[in-house]
Structure 1
């Protein structure tokens, strides 16, 4: 397995800078065109904010010997069959010799509204993984297909509101103690940790980054299991094992 951690950390900072830079550029284009969306919707609908993380994944595929893999990043080639629904669009697929090697999702959330978006991201992440693994069990990706790598990366704005403890209504039954008075940053960390512990994703990453990171690419993680370094290590190992078959 080939893994240059110093290079990865530089790539990660560049990916974070690209994320914030693309958001600001999208908002500026909206303003210049006189078509400013409500809140920060313009930056979200412009897309491409997480492209730097796709580049990290692509470089890991190339560095670990899977040079003839089909790396799908265009929408027309990102569809996989489901079990509870006909299809699902992923953010990145890796196909090698007609077998699914990896399916990756790259998500982000920026304030000011964290509550509803957090719940939507949770439902999406859990449902997507459960749907895929059920389809896999039923042979949707071929008889005796090797188990693919499933990855989920979430980048959250690191700001006072995302780090403030949140209270929950408990009219009938108590909330899981892990979530009591947990901020949205802590809740995303818990989500990612449990997605991995329950086998829904091979790796689930949570990153927190402030808007000022447009200048220096700063980011942080809360725990090792949900760190970007863990994702990089696991993904590189999976790619290397496929290349060695």
Structure 2
């Protein structure tokens, strides 16, 4: 079964370039209005900074046989039922003939508060997946094959995200892989474990410096958590669904 990766590398660079460009535009707009938020919020309160990655996923879905699937991007149609809570709002949903094909989350983090944000993102990612799969087990989506569930993080490549981090755990030691690991490395470990524990079909971490507003450059931490694995798994899942339709 041939799959189409939709020229993902070029589109990813464009998505990264747009991410940084949109943040700067939002910040400048708030400064000009005289109502700028403090710190990094000025770059995010305009929202939609990860739209380039959403567009890439849509291209992959269309290119692999589900050109007529319903792809939902608007807030009012992005909720799915949960098990521990009534609903969860996702970033992108793909539904074909009443079946949930894919549910995806697109996250980003820039400095300086890498520590608190890492913990919040981790708890959110784990809880979201556990809630979805429990709802799936209990028949929330009807009788269907397992959907593709994806999580993608774009992290600022900066000295603070690359530096070793010390943890305080006075009663029991933290797992060895976390000892002295930077926040970038911790995201890589998180993504790897999210997949190993079958919480996500695939989870990816990309790092990118602010200077990427000029060229869209980004880096990957490993093959398992890289973008090629993400898009390949998605394309294969979509192509298999298209073959069943």
- Tell me the TM-score normalised to structure 2 length: 0.98
Q: Paired residue for 1:24?
A: 24
Q: Paired residue for 2:39?
A: 39
Q: Matches of 2:43 and 2:144 in 1, distance apart?
A: 39
Q: Matches of 2:129 and 2:216 in 1, distance apart?
A: 30
Question: Which secondary structure state, in structure 2, belongs to the residue aligned with residue 102 of structure 1?
Answer: strand
Q: Paired residue for 1:229?
A: 228
Q: Is the 8 A contact 2:5 2:60 kept in 1?
A: no
Q: Paired residue for 2:193?
A: 194
Q: Is the 8 A contact 2:5 2:231 kept in 1?
A: no
Question: Which secondary structure state, in structure 2, belongs to the residue aligned with residue 65 of structure 1?
Answer: coil
Output aligned runs, 1:135-146, within 5 Å. 135-142=135-142, 144-146=143-145
Q: Matches of 2:140 and 2:32 in 1, distance apart?
A: 47
Q: Paired residue for 2:211?
A: 212
Q: Is the 8 A contact 2:11 2:56 kept in 1?
A: yes
Q: Paired residue for 2:108?
A: 108
Q: Matches of 1:140 and 1:104 in 2, distance apart?
A: 17
Whether 1:240 and 2:244 are equivalent positions in the alignment is: no
Q: Matches of 2:141 and 2:167 in 1, distance apart?
A: 41
Q: Matches of 2:95 and 2:54 in 1, distance apart?
A: 15
Query: 1:203-235, CA deviations, whole angstroms, 9 ceiling, x for partnerless residues?
Result: 000000000000001000111000000000000
Question: Which secondary structure state, in structure 2, belongs to the residue aligned with residue 181 of structure 1?
Answer: coil
Q: Paired residue for 2:158?
A: 159
> 4+ residue runs of structure 1 moved beyond 6 angstroms?
none
Q: How many residues are treated as equivalent by the alignment? A: 243
Q: Paired residue for 2:182?
A: 183
Q: Offset of 1:187 from its aligned partner?
A: 0.2
Closer, same or farther in 2 for the Cα pair 1:4/1:91, shift >3 Å? closer
Q: Offset of 1:42 from its aligned partner?
A: 2.0
Cα RMSD after superposing both structures: 0.8
Whether 1:10 and 2:10 are equivalent positions in the alignment is: yes
Q: Paired residue for 2:54?
A: 54
Q: Paired residue for 1:84?
A: 84
Question: Which secondary structure state, in structure 1, belongs to the residue aligned with residue 134 of structure 2?
Answer: helix
Q: Matches of 1:64 and 1:187 in 2, distance apart?
A: 33
Whether 1:168 and 2:161 are equivalent positions in the alignment is: no
Query: 1:57-106, CA deviations, whole angstroms, 9 ceiling, x for partnerless residues?
Result: 00001100101100000001100000000000000000000110000000
Segments of structure 2 that go 5 or more residues without pairing to the other structure are none
Question: Which secondary structure state, in structure 1, belongs to the residue aligned with residue 219 of structure 2?
Answer: coil
Q: Offset of 1:4 from its aligned partner?
A: 4.2
Q: Offset of 1:43 from its aligned partner?
A: 1.5
